[in-house]
Every structure is written in C-alpha cells, then in structure tokens.
Amino acid sequence: MKTITQTIDININNQLCIKDNLFFDIETTGFSRTGCFCYLIGVSFTDGRHFTVIQWLAEGASDETLLIHKFCELAENFSSIIHFNGDNFDIPFLTKRAAIHNIPLNLDNMRSIDLFKHAKGLKSILRLESYNQTTVEHFLGIHRNDTYTGGELIKVYKEYIKNDQLPAKHADSEKLLLLHNFEDICGLIKISSIVSYNNIINKHISYKDIEYTPAYDIADESKQSDNISSTAYITLSFSLPEELPVSVLLKDEYYVLRAEHSTLKLRLPVITGILKYFYPNYKDYYYLPEEDITIHKDVATYVDKNHRIQATASNCFTKVTDNFLPIFSVKSPDFNQIFIENYGEKNGFIQLESIKDEDCVLKYVNCILDYLY
C-alpha cells in the first residue's frame, strides 16, 4: 500500500469546511460489494488554515484491509463525513468491505453530508442539466486536469497492477489514478460552497431596502390586460448570511430574482387596475347581474327579488381598484385578502399597501420564495 499526503491551500470558507468534518471519496474495481474491492481511498480535512489530503492506494487486492484500517483510524477523529453520492455508493460499499474483513467501521456514528443530495435539492435554483459532481463543478467554475471517469479507471488500475515490473508504465498509471481521486477530493471541498444557496430556499434573509422603478425604464415584458397593467416595479433587497460562489438569475413574466455575492434582489411589477376579491362564504350573498356586484343578504332585502340571484362561488366578489403585487397563490396564511382578475385563476395579487413595514415585506417575500422553491 502506498500513502500519499499533501497540504493544499483552497480559499473556501463555509459552514462545512471546519475541523470536525472529513471529506472522503473511494475508487473501486466495480459496483459489486462482494465481487469487487476498494483500491483507493482519499480524504481531506482542515486545521482552519490549510487542507491536508491523504490518499491510500492499494498495490493489489490484499492491500484493501490495510486501506480500510487506515481510514477507520482517521475517521474516528471526526464527527461528520462529507461525500458526493456516498449515501448510495461509497458508504455502503466501504461498510460491506469492512464487514468482509472483520474490520469495525462505525460510520453510522458520524453525521453524513451528501453533497449530491444538496445539489439535487437546489434544482429550482441551479437548474443544471444533470447533478453529477463534474456538472456541479462546471457550474461553480471548477476545471479539472483529470479526464477519466471512475469506470474508465478500473482498466487503468488493472494495468497498474499488471505492470508493476515496468516502472514507466506503472508510474503513468499510478499518476492517473491518484490525480482522479485527488481532484475528486479537491472538488468536494470546493463544491461544498453550494450549501450557501440553501439560505435562499430556507429563507435565511434579512431585509435591506425597497426601490421603485417606473415601468417605462424597464424593457421586460409586463402583465397587461383590459383591466390591469404594470405601471412600476419594486425591487426588494435582502442580505444573505453567506456569500454565494456564483450568481444566479431566475425570471418569468412576473418576477426577476438575482442572487449575487451576499445579496438577494427580487423585482416584481406593481399592477394597477381592477381586481376581484372573492368572498369564501358565497351563500351569505346575492349577486346583482345588472350591476355586476355582490351584496350581503342583510342588505339584499332592500333589492327587488327580480334583480338579484343567489351568489355562487364564481360571482361572489367585490371589485377593487388599486395598486397590487403578484403573490402567485390564491391562498396564504399571512395575507387575508388575495385578489385575482377572473374566477379560477391560480395567480393571486395583494394590495401594495399590504407591505407597509419590514415584517410584512418578509412575509411577502417568504410567500414568493415558497412559490418559487
């Protein structure tokens, strides 16, 4: 078995890059936990200033026992283990191989942090074509020298064992094997910064300010109909507790969300015109077809019976002319009155005056983020 230890400087500062956490990745000769074996384990940890990377490389199948022993001895010093798709592959594989060799491996005692699951949980923000480690690295601007996949390296490892008497070929194969695992480990450290995007989904934000912009200053398409139009836009700004590694921009006809560095900005149109609030208790109302209004039964006693009908869910409303903001939902526990243009529409609006203070702004943006994510 060979042990390779390196100290590296990676400028990463996030909640996962702490002394108690161990990054790890394994390389195997295949997927079968009983018919294949682990030939390389790479780990990394930090002292708060630098990262240490250790790689244990098996020079043959008989070295697997020592590889796992070394890993177990080191892992006992950490409370959490960080990996990419390790919950599905690395941990079950290593656990089974340890059991075969009668080695006590207690990874269940450690907190498991799977960056693959974190990345997939951020689909609504990252919107990547896939969520393998290489794709996430590309999104974050991380580029590799290694060009091999783990599957392709199985053949390289077999050549490595076969050519142990041919120094040049042996060394070339070893270099490829170590490089791939080393870049997997360094990539793990770097992509750990994706957890910062969870602050958006989890709404860990602090209100900064609000800005109004006339609609004619913005070229984007805006909501228009016979009854309503966009007369202005508001931009709500919030602080994030961690800096994002890469800015993200999401938008549709109603919103533009930009998250950059440690700031989240959400731009929304101010809708001016006539919208309807539909009363939930329609059985208590009459509808006046000639006037296209709804009145309560207590008042309807003064209206000729020939000019009123029992209200239904689709015509029991009151019309309001005002300035509105989109809320994307017709139900919200934080806003009692949500307006729509026509019965049955799913996109709702609230009156602009509803966000008159910081608490209301936060409630509003929480509703928007709930819809988006």
Query: 3-state DSSP call for residue 282?
Result: helix
Query: What is the pLDDT at residue 217?
Result: 56
Query: What is the pLDDT at residue 170?
Result: 84
How many of the other CB atoms lie within 10 Å of CB of 354?
19
Query: What is the pLDDT at residue 336?
Result: 81
**Cβ neighbourhood burial of 217 (10 Å; 0-12, 13-18, 19+):** exposed
Query: What is the pLDDT at residue 132?
Result: 93
| CA 23 – CA 17 distance, rounded (Å) | 9
Query: What is the pLDDT at residue 54?
Result: 98
| CA 201 – CA 197 distance, rounded (Å) | 7
The phi, psi pair for 369, rounded to 5°, reads -65, -35
Query: What is the pLDDT at residue 226?
Result: 60
Query: What is the pLDDT at residue 211?
Result: 92
Strand locations in 9-69 (E): 21-28, 38-46, 51-57
Query: What is the pLDDT at residue 331?
Result: 76
User: In terms of Cα–Cα distance, which of 366, 44, 368 is closest to 206?
Assistant: 366
**Which pair of structure tokens corresponds to residue 130?**
């896939």
What b-and-e string marks burial along 278-312, b requiring 16 or more CB atoms within 10 Å of the CB?
beeebeebbbbeeeeebbeeeebeeeeeeebeebe
Query: What is the pLDDT at residue 257?
Result: 93
Write out residues in the chain with pLDDT < 70, as ranges.
215-228
Task: Report pLDDT digits (tens) over 84-119.
Answer: 999 999 999 999 999 999 999 888 889 999 999 999
Distance of CA 355 to CAs 94, 297, 331, Å? Answer: 54, 32, 17
Handedness of CA 216, 220, 221, 223 (dihedral sign): negative
| CA 249 – CA 234 distance, rounded (Å) | 17
Let me know: does 122 contact 373? Beta carbons within 8 Å.
no
Query: What is the pLDDT at residue 196?
Result: 95
